[in-house]
Structure 1
Amino acid sequence: MSVATLRQMTEADLPAVLSIERATFPLDAWSEGMLRGELADQPRTRHYIVAVAEGEIVGYAGLAAAGDQADVQTIAVRTASQRAGIGSAMLSELLAEAVRRGATAVFLEVRADNPPAQAMYERFGFERVGLRRDYYDDGTDAIMMMRSLNGQGGDRDG
C-alpha cells in the first residue's frame, strides 16, 4: 500500500509535474506545451493523475485511450519517493481506467536501459511485443509492451 493518494491532474499541477519530468527524463523531457496538450484532451481521450504524499506531488502518470486500445503515455515518480509502491498504484489506476473505457489492450514503450520499469510492467502482465530502435532522443531503444485486458485492472499477483 502506498502512502500517496491519487487524483486527477490539473493545469495547476504542471509546475510540480514538470520538475519531476525534467529530473526523471533529463534527455527527452516533455515540454510544458506537450503536457498542456495532453491535459486539453482530458477526459475525452486522456486520463492523467498525480500521486500526492504529505501535500506534495511525488508522481504522475497518463493514459491515452481510443476505441478498444489504450496506451500508457508516461509514468514518473520523484527519485526520493521511488520503491514505495507509487508507480504500481498509478499503473493500477491507469489499467482500471482503460477497463472503464472499454479497452481490450494496453500498450506502452519503456526504455531498454530501465530494467526496474520493465520488471514492474512484467509484474502487471505486460509482455514484450517489439523494439523501436533509437526511439528516445538520446538514441536509446524502446521496448514495446502490451497487456490484454480481461476486465481486470491491476497487478495479477495481488
Structure 2
Amino acid sequence: MPPPTGPVDDFDASASTAADPVLPAGYSMRSLDWADLPTVHALEQRLFPFDAWPLSFFEQELAQAGPESDGGTRAYRVVVGPGAGPETATDTVARMEAGTEADSNTTAGEAAGVVLGYCGLMCVPPLADVQTIAVAPEAEGRGLGTAMLLWMVAEARRRRATDLLLEVRADNPRAQQLYARHGFEHIHTRAGYYPGDAQQGTGRVDALIMRRHVVG
C-alpha cells in the first residue's frame, strides 16, 4: 500500500514527548468508523491525486483494526471539527465531488464534526509503520497533523514497538523536514516507488524510508 506522501500539517517538536497529544479547542480525535470511509476516501482522492488508496484498501485496513488482544494489527483515527450541525458525511462527499466549498461564514469543520484529517498505524512488534497521515488543506496550521503523528508514536509505544517507520516522497522536502524535526531519520531510499504526474510527463519518484525509535 502506498504510505504517506506528505500533505500533513505543521508539527510542534516541543510536544514530541506527549503521551496523548492535545488538540486545539473544539477539535477531537476518535477511532475511524466504517461510516467515515466515504468521507475519508473522498479526502484521500483530493489530497493524493497520483497514488490515492482505493476504497477497498481502507476497508481492508479497518477490518484489521482493533486491540492486540483481539488480533488487531491496525489502529486508525480521524480528527473532526467542532459542533454537530446539519452536514453529514454524505453531504461532505457530495460537496467535495461537486467542487463546492463549505459556507463561507464558517471555518473548516464548523458545520458538523467534519473529518479534517486521518491517520493509520500498523504494528507488529517490534516494528510499527505509519500507513497514512493527512490533513485537509483548509485545516492546516492548527496542529492536527502534530496530534495525529504524536498519537501514532504513543500508540506504537503502547503496543510495545521499538521503532516507528514511514515513507515519504523524495520530492516533498517540507514533509521530510517536519518528520526530521520529530526525530525521524532517513535510513533507506526505495527507488521509483511513487508514481509521477503523467500529464506533466514526470517520472516515478523515490520513497525515503524514515525511522524513529519510540523506546530507549
TM-score (ref. length: structure 2): 0.67
Question: Share of identical aligned residues, percent?
Answer: 45
Which residue pairs with 1:2 in the alignment?
Answer: 24
State the Cα distance separating 1:91 from its structure 2 match. Answer: 0.3
Correspondence 1:54-73 to 2 at 5 A: 54=82, 55-73=113-131
1:42-57 superposed matches below 5 A? 42-43=65-66, 44-54=72-82, 55-57=113-115
* Deviation, structure 1 residue 83: 2.1
Asked if 1:11 is matched to 2:38, the reply is no
Structure 2 residue 170 is matched with structure 1 residue 126: no
Cα root mean square deviation, aligned:
1.2
One-letter code of the match for 2:79?
A: A
Q: Larger relative CO (CA 8 A, sep 6+): 1 or 2? A: 2
What is the Cα deviation at residue 116 of structure 1?
Answer: 2.2
Q: Is the 8 A contact 1:110 1:143 kept in 2?
A: yes
Q: Which residue of 1 aligns with 2:215?
A: 150
Larger Rg: 2
**3-state secondary structure, aligned to 1:135:** strand
CA displacement at 1:82 relative to structure 2:
1.4
Question: Matches of 1:38 and 1:130 in 2, distance apart?
Answer: 25
Residue 114 of structure 1, CA deviation:
1.5
Q: What 5-or-longer segments of structure 1 have no aligned partner?
A: 152-158
SS at structure 1 position matched to 2:193: coil
What one-letter code is carried by the residue in structure 2 that aligns with 1:141? D
Give the match for residue 93 of structure 1.
151
Instruction: Provide the rounded CA distance (Å) in 1 between the counterparts of 2:40 and 2:126.
Output: 28
Query: Structure 2: how far apart are the matches of 1:101 and 1:48?
Result: 14
1:116 paired residue number:
174
Q: How many residues align?
A: 151
Runs of 4+ in 1 over 2 A off after TM superposition: 1-4
Normalising by structure 1, we get a TM-score of 0.91
